[in-house]
Amino acid sequence: MEANITYRKQRSGGWEAGRVLAVILGGFILLVGLPLAFAGTALMGVTSAMDDGSGYIGVRGFDFETGTQALVFKEMHIEDIVIDRIEGPAVRYWTPRPGDFLKMKFTLESNNGKEVFIGIIDEAHALNYLGASRYETVTNFRMDDPFDGHPYITYQLHNGNEITMDPLSMNIWAAYATGDDVTLEWEPEEGDYWVVIMNADLTPGVDMESGVGVKIPFLSFIGKGILLGGVACLAIGGLIIYVGVVRRD
C-alpha cells in the first residue's frame, strides 16, 4: 500500500522583491500625500478664518491718520494676463483679465466724524492731480500676524501746495467711494495705481479705521484640490502596502 506524500515548500526567511517594491512605492506615495493633505487643510483653514463672510480674505481694524489733506498708498502694480496663443475656439469665449483672477475690497470708517473719500487712480492722473500737493505716503506697513490690531506703520511727507480741486468733480478715478462707512470693491486692470484717501470736504486731518481684502475665485478650489490629491495619495500608498505586504502574508 502506497502512502500519500505531500511536499511543502519552506517559506523563505527574507522578503521577496515584490514586497520590497510595494513598501518603497507605497511609502513614497504616502510621503507625497501627507504634506499635500496638510497644505490643503491649512489653506482651507486660513481662508475660512480670514473670510469676511462675502468671499474676501483680508484684515481690518487698524487705524491710519495724517495731518495733511491726503493719505496715499503708491505704486500698486497690476500685471496684465496675456495668453499669446490659445488653440481652438476657447479664445472666442474668454479672454482672461486680471479681474477674473483677483478682486479687491477696501473698507473705511471715519474716526473723526467726517465723511471720507477713497479713490483708486492711475499713476499718470495721480501725478497730475497730487504731484504738486502736500500729502503723506505710507512707506512701510508690517503686521506680526493677520489679527494684529497695532501694525507698524511709517509715513513720508511730500511737501507741496493745498489741494483745492474736489475729487468728485474730476473724471480721473478707476474706482471711488465716499461716506462715513465706506466699502469699495474693485476689479483690477493692467497698470500702475495709487490709492488716495481724503476727507470728502478736503480739510486736513485724515483719521480712519481701515481694512483690505482680496477675493481669488479659484482659491477655495485650489485648497480642496490639494487636500483631495493628498487624501488620494494616502489611500493609494496605503493600499499598495496592504496588498503587497499584509495581504500576501
The rounded distance, in Å, linking the Cα atoms of 37 and 32 is 9
Strand partners, 108: 182, 210
The rounded distance, in Å, linking the Cα atoms of 115 and 96 is 36
pLDDT tens profile 167-192: 988 899 999 999 888 899 988 888 89
Residue-level pLDDT at 233:
86
pLDDT tens profile 208-241: 888 888 787 676 777 788 888 888 888 888 888 7
Please check whether residue 106 is in contact with residue 210, taking contact to mean a CB–CB distance below 8 angstroms. yes
What is each CA distance from 168 to 85, 110, 126, in whole angstroms? 41, 18, 14
The rounded distance, in Å, linking the Cα atoms of 215 and 204 is 33
pLDDT beneath 50, residues of the chain: 13, 82-86, 91
**Is this structure's pTM higher than 0.75?**
no
Beta-sheet pairing, 70-78 with 135-142: parallel
Burial class (CB in 10 A: 0-12, 13-18, 19+), 66: buried
The separation between the first and the last C-alpha atoms of the chain, rounded to the nearest angstrom, is: 38
What letter represents residue 113's amino acid?
G
Q: Which helix (H) or strand (E) holds 186?
A: strand 181-186
Q: Is 209 left (phi over 0), alpha (psi -120 to 50) or beta?
A: beta
For the segment(s) 55-82+95-217, the CATH number from 2.70.98, 2.60.120, 2.60.40, 2.115.10 is 2.60.120
Eight-state DSSP code of residue 11: P
The domain spans of the chain are 17-42+222-246, 55-82+95-217
Residue-level pLDDT at 86:
46
